Amino acid sequence: MYIYHGSEFIIEHPKYKGGRPNNDYGYGFYCTENPDMAREWSVTSDHNGYLNKYIFDSSELSTLDLSSYPALTWLAILLENRIFDITTPLSAEAKKYIKKEFLIDYEKYDVIKGYRADDSYFSFAQDFISGAISYEQLCEAMHLGKLGEQLVLKSKRSFECIKWCDSEIVPREIWLPLREGRDKKARKKYFSVDKQTYVKGALYITKILDEEIKNDDTRLR
């Protein structure tokens, strides 16, 4: 398959164990099968970007596809790697419980396939663990802005299966507004959700904690 990485730089040789440890899924090389998504990720307010194109053979690699798991598994991995604003006893207990019950051994896989937690989606996750929205609202919010999926190369073996093809310049004056517009659209739809009204029967974090809901609970599917 062809995969793409958006960056301020041309990256002909991705570095194993490169990047930042507090990315969504920890250390790894973050790519996507969608070139337009990679173009959006490549630009900043100050710089043009580069779309790096690679050919990737994953046929002999182990892949963790997070779409096969409840959203709380995705959230548990985020809680393991990203920096959350834990300001209340509820959010602290939520973080502890979600990691205990829903975190899986994601580091043993060669590749991870899952959502990318950009700014708006990270704030949705923050609202959930603080009790502001239900699990159902979190799942709905994750689809608002057509977030798309990313592929993360994790193992040394996976880096032996990727080969750079070429790169192209990505003009920020075109792609930065597109990225900001997608994020703004997601936030606008999300803010239209009534977060002030308690929905009886919904899975708020308090209910998940009180009932000690586990990974195999059918209400999470």
C-alpha distance across the termini of the chain, in Å: 29
Q: Is the pLDDT of residue 149 over 50?
A: yes
CA distance 125 to 204: 12
Helix (H, G, I), strand (E, B) or coil at 220: helix
The share of the chain scoring above pLDDT 70, in percent, equals 90
Average pLDDT over residues 153-165: 97
Query: Given pLDDT bands bounded at 50, 70 and 90, which one contains residue 137?
Result: confident
The share of the chain scoring above pLDDT 90, in percent, equals 66
Query: Given pLDDT bands bounded at 50, 70 and 90, which one contains residue 179?
Result: confident
Express each pLDDT in 82-135 by its tens digit.
Answer: 888 888 999 999 999 999 999 999 999 999 998 876 666 677 888 999 998 999
What pLDDT shows up at residue 147? Answer: 55
DSSP string, 19-88: S-TTSTTSSSEEEBS-HHHHHHHH--SS--EEEEEEEE--TTS-EEEGGGS-HHHHHHHHHHHS-----S
β-pair partners for 65: 113
Q: What is the pTM of this model?
A: 0.88
Burial class (CB in 10 A: 0-12, 13-18, 19+), 11: middle
What pLDDT shows up at residue 119? Answer: 64
HSE-CB for 142 with a 13 A CA cutoff:
21
- What count of other Cβ atoms lies within 10 Å of the Cβ of residue 74? 22
Helix (H, G, I), strand (E, B) or coil at 112: strand
CA distance 213 to 210: 8
185 or 26, which is more confident = 26
Highest mean pLDDT pick, 3-7, 24-28, 123-127: 3-7
